[in-house]
Structures are given as C-alpha cells and as structure tokens.
Amino acid sequence: MKVKNTLIILFMLFALQARAQELNNKTYGVVNISVCNLRVTPDFDAEMSTQALLGTPVHVLNLDKWYQIQTPDTYTGWVHPKGIYRMTKEEYSAWNKAEKVVITALFGIVYDRPSDKGETVSDVTGGDRLKFLGKKKHFYKVAYPDGRIGYVAEKIAKIETKWRSQVKQDASSIIKTAESMMGFPYIWAGMSPKGFDCSGFVRTILFLHDIIIPRDASQMACTGQHVDIASDFSNLQSGDLVFFGKKATADKKEHVSHVGIYIDNNRFIHSMGDVHLSSFDPNDMYYDSYNLNRLLYAVRFLHLINKDAAYTTTKTNSYYNE
C-alpha cells in the first residue's frame, strides 16, 4: 500500500511539473483589463460564469488557447489571453508587494499622459487596481500588469495603503455604496459596476469596502451567523444578507437562488432586472410579494471579517499575499 501511495504521489508531482513546464512556469497571473469575463469553456460563445477586476491576482490552472484560471474567491473559469497577464511566481509576488492605486469612482479612464485630453489607454471601473509609479500634476502614474503605462486622475482613485486605512466596513457605509448603483443593469454572472447578477452585486459592493466573500448566493448562505427571521423582521440588522429560494421538503434539498442586502424598516436592496429597493411590508411602495414568499433566512457577517475564513480582505486573502 505504501509503495502504491508513493507511486501516486510521484505521478501527481510529475503531472504538476509537466503542467508547469507547459505553462513555462508562468502558473500565476493578474487581470489585465478593466473587467475580465470568465467562461465555463474556452470559447466566446460559452456561458459566462463570473468576472474579475483589473489587478486581481489569479492562479493559472491550464492552457487551451485560452487560460483556465482560479480567482481569490476560488472560482474557476476560462479567459481569453487578453484578459490576464501570466507571470512567474517571482513576478506575481512582486506585483502583490508593489504599492497600488485603487479606483474608487464607479467608472473612469486611464490616459497616456497626465491630462484628461490625453489618448485613452483603457477604461477602469470601481475596485480596479494598478501599480503606483508616482504622481504628476493631479494624476497618478500607473502601470498595468503587462507593463503598459498610464495616468489616472487623483479624484477617481486612492493609494491602496491610504484607501485601506480609510475604507469603512460598517453597514451604513456599505448600504450607501449599494444605493449609489440604483438602476444599474442585471447581467448574468456580472460582478462589476458595468452590471451584476444578484450575488455579483453583493460581492462587488463588499469588495469596494475591502471585504472578500464567496461568489455565489448558495455559497454565501453557508457562511457567517445564520439568522432565522422573525415574523415581524425585528431581529434583522442593517447589513445582514437576506436569502431567497425554495425551502427544503421531504424529498428535495433547500435551494438558495437569490440574495440581497437588508437596509432597515423591512427594506432590502438587490439586483433583479436592475438594482433596486424592495420591501417585505405590504404597505410600502416597494412591496415585493414575490420575494417575500420565497424568503428563507439571513446571514450576519460584518463582525466576522478576518475572523472567519469566508470573510477576508485584500490584506489577508492568500492570493493577494503569495
């Protein structure tokens, strides 16, 4: 048995080594465009499974003209080579250690010179990260993972260390950010201000407050402090995540299919068609009988940031620190 196990381990090591050689030892990468689409198979016609933002560190798992990658929330998918810039472990570590500029506005442009009359290098969106190279006038000089240079206005970005020291992780701040995206469109698998699905909305809002949580509603529902909701909703707190779907029956398991952020006064904000308010109160103008009838429970989590493996930050998540 020991001989057999040893052979299995050797085979696995050989397979990993062969994969590393095939990838030219560049088994790491960083997202190189403002919003990168991950698909279930390596094809533009394939279903989109999630997205990742510029500057996100990823692991490269496989090659097939496209790259199969894994993101910091452990989601996997295939991306077009334009989407990420592959790196060696040393290059990846250097990127992670370098000071960054975080885009704090919902949308913006990186220019080829420190002027808003410059040529566009690319667009950027809230949560994107670029390497900080210095300041010129009222612009940050920045570098992309692939080495391109550009300039982004100070008014739409912050130095990451300063941003981390100032970003708030309380319910009212998170809800304010969520409400700033009212009317933004629903996009299946979307996870940026360009468009969200329900869990992508929650995941993005929290990421803008430097909170990394699991990607899908069904995964989020299995974390944090479970809250069985009182009939009058009095035990809900602002910032709780509220989950919807189908309750378990004798022959079927529970199915979580939707998530939103509880605000107060029986209201919650979520992405369904677009980002909007809904209410559990029949007398409220935002009354949502459909979701009330499929309400399951809530999860409380803000007190668990960096205390529970499901709730990390860019300072503690392993992908950002390798």
Catalytic positions, please? 198, 258, 270
C-alpha span between 54 and 50 (Å, rounded): 14
Tokens 């975080």 belong to residue: 102
Which sign does the torsion angle of CA 23, 24, 26, 27 carry? Answer: positive
Q: Assign residue 179 a region: left if phi > 0, alpha if psi is -120 to 50, beta otherwise?
A: alpha
C-alpha span between 14 and 7 (Å, rounded): 10
C-alpha span between 168 and 208 (Å, rounded): 10
Question: Is residue 258 a contact partner of residue 198, using CB atoms and an 8 Å limit?
Answer: yes
Name, in order, each residue with C-beta under 8 angstroms of 6's C-beta and a sequence gap of 6 or more.
none
Q: Where are the alpha helices (DSSP H) in the chain?
A: 2-22, 89-97, 160-166, 171-179, 198-207, 217-220, 289-292
First to last CA, the chain: 35
